[in-house]
Copies of this chain bind each other. A is one copy, B any other.
């Protein structure tokens, strides 16, 4: 990792708030409780936007917020807010938006057969943090809020980040209403059936935030391998996704001399090798992945007439993504010309890199130093709600280690000790912004 720095904190910089009885917070218990909604027999969780398990989980969370004294409220998208009202005094964060709440949270939805931590950790930690702060420090100066975002994964409809997009006003129902899920149900029907949408009694989703802070599992192996407890996200990587199609001519594997072939799969194979070599040469944090390939007709004794493969390129700098794609396309063209093959490509997705807010990031680093938590700055190669929030308000992300880097899988796991270290950082940060001068 050449653009991240690791630190074993010296623990002497300045004081943070003493946090009494933090170890009594029921982090693991509440995560287990939430994971029962949409649980399957293999230990996985499936909660898709507006489906039954999702509805039950989101309403159960609302009841839990109520119970904990965090005035729960839904919006028309189905985002759920728990609020700890302040006395109207602003902290320094989000200048000019001193009246707007400081918000933490993450998403409640999962991928199909996902794990218990992705998204859920940030939601549960936010609820527990506000409960803890209220119990130990009373009414804050500035309003603190936890949000259980309705959707991030894009698992049910072909649209991701619906929760954060609707809150920040980037997208509205008019953009998604005709989308259909795999069973042919429209987005508009699904939101209505779940009791949300413009016909419901809830307020519109769009809202002004003072800051957004997301606590999340890393979903990678960097923290674990390098032995750090806290990851301070420097940037959320941008990405481009393509589908590359190589065209040749189907021919008999026995009767066509090698020199006369136009073998689409042989061409694709050389291109995939080029992807890896160009990415390795570009160096970290650039990653490029070919995860999917098909060959037609796909028979062992017929030269392939067509091969199609996916390409996913990510980096924290747009010019690096563009430069890498340029190099790959040049190499693809050279290979296609050399092997007399056709080449077509289609861009499916383009997300620009998003740097996290410097002030909050710096505050998180200070907390790690004082709390003597081993931390590092690192980019996030995965996409997160924070990339949607950052253009609208100061945003930062805190990562905790993922065991073996496994995510989107029932085996997703983070040790309770690590969950609590991330929680400690979140509580200190919210204390600073909610109760500090």
Q: Are B255 and A405 in contact (CB under 8 A)?
A: yes
Which residue of the partner chain, among B222, B287, B382, contacts A258 with CB atoms under 8 Å? B287
Asked whether, in the complex, the Cβ of B291 is within 8 Å of the Cβ of A292, the reply is: no
Residues of B within 8 A of A285 (CB): 257
Contact B405 A252 (CB under 8 A): yes
Chain B residues with Cβ below 8 Å from A276 are 258, 263, 266, 269-270
Interface string of A172-196 (1 = CB under 8 A from B): 0000000000000000000000000
List of B residues within 8 angstroms of A41 by Cβ: none
Whether the pair B239, A254 counts as a contact (CB closer than 8 A) is yes
CB pair B292 A295 closer than 8 Å: yes
Query: In the complex the two chains form, what is the Cα distance from A1 to B257 in whole Å?
Result: 8
A263 contact set on B, CB distance < 8 A: 276, 289
Query: A18 within 8 Å of B by Cβ?
Result: no
Give the contact stretch, choosing among A201-209, A213-221, A358-366: A213-221
**At the interface, yes or no: A229 with Cβ under 8 Å from chain B?**
no
Contact A314 B254 (CB under 8 A): yes
Q: A143 to chain B: closest CB distance in Å? A: 33
Cβ B381 vs Cβ A255 within 8 A: yes
Cross-interface CB contact of A221 among B260, B265, B270, cutoff 8 Å: B260
- As a 0/1 sequence over residues 383 to 400 of chain A, the CB contacts with chain B under 8 angstroms (1 = contact) are 100000000000000000
Among A259, A276, A297, which residue has the most Cβ atoms of chain B within 10 A? A276
Bound-complex Cα distance A258 to B220 (A): 12
Give complex CA distance A280, B89 in Å.
Answer: 76
State whether B290 touches A266 (Cβ < 8 A).
yes
A303–B291 contact, CB under 8 A? yes
A109 at the interface (CB under 8 A from B): no
Interface string of A288-329 (1 = CB under 8 A from B): 111111110111111110000011101000000000000000
Chain B residue at minimal CB-CB distance from A242? B300
CA distance A222 to B270 in the complex (A): 27
CA distance A231 to B301 in the complex (A): 22
Q: A258-B280, A265-B272, A284-B257 are in contact. Are A381 and B293 (CB under 8 A)?
A: no
Q: Give the complex CA separation of A300 and B408 in angstroms.
A: 14
Contact between A291 and B269 (Cβ–Cβ < 8 Å)?
no
Report if A273 contacts B (CB, 8 A): yes
Q: Main secondary structure on chain A at its contact with chain B? A: mixed
Q: A381 and B256: CB pair below 8 A?
A: yes
Contact A291 to B287, CB < 8 A, known contacts A253-B314, A269-B272? no
Q: How far is the CB of A100 from chain B (nearest CB, A)?
A: 30
- In the complex, whether A237 has a CB less than 8 A from a CB of chain B is yes
Cβ-defined contact, B256 with A220, below 8 A? yes
A76 within 8 Å of B (CB atoms): no
Instruction: Tell me which of B252, B297, B408 contacts A220 (CB under 8 A).
Output: B252
Complex alpha-carbon distance, A381 and B292, angstroms:
32
Q: Which residue of B lies closest to A305 (CB)?
A: B291
A403 within 8 A of B: no
**Is A228 interfacial (CB 8 A cutoff)?**
no
* Residue of A280, A291, A383 with most partner-chain B CB within 10 A: A291
With a CB–CB cut-off of 8 A, which chain B residues contact A257?
Answer: 1, 222, 284-285, 287
Tell me if A241 is interfacial: C-beta within 8 Å of chain B. yes
Query: Is there a chain B Cβ closer than 8 Å to A251's Cβ?
Result: yes
> What are 9 residue pairs bridging A and B, where the CB atoms are less than 8 Å apart in the complex?
A220-B254, A253-B314, A255-B407, A256-B381, A257-B287, A269-B276, A289-B301, A290-B304, A291-B299
**Known contacts A268-B269, A289-B302, A300-B310; can you find 10 more A-B pairs with CB under 8 A?**
A220-B252, A220-B254, A254-B312, A254-B380, A254-B382, A254-B383, A258-B286, A269-B270, A291-B295, A291-B304
What 4 A-B pairs come out closest when comparing CB atoms? A220-B255, A254-B381, A300-B310, A269-B272
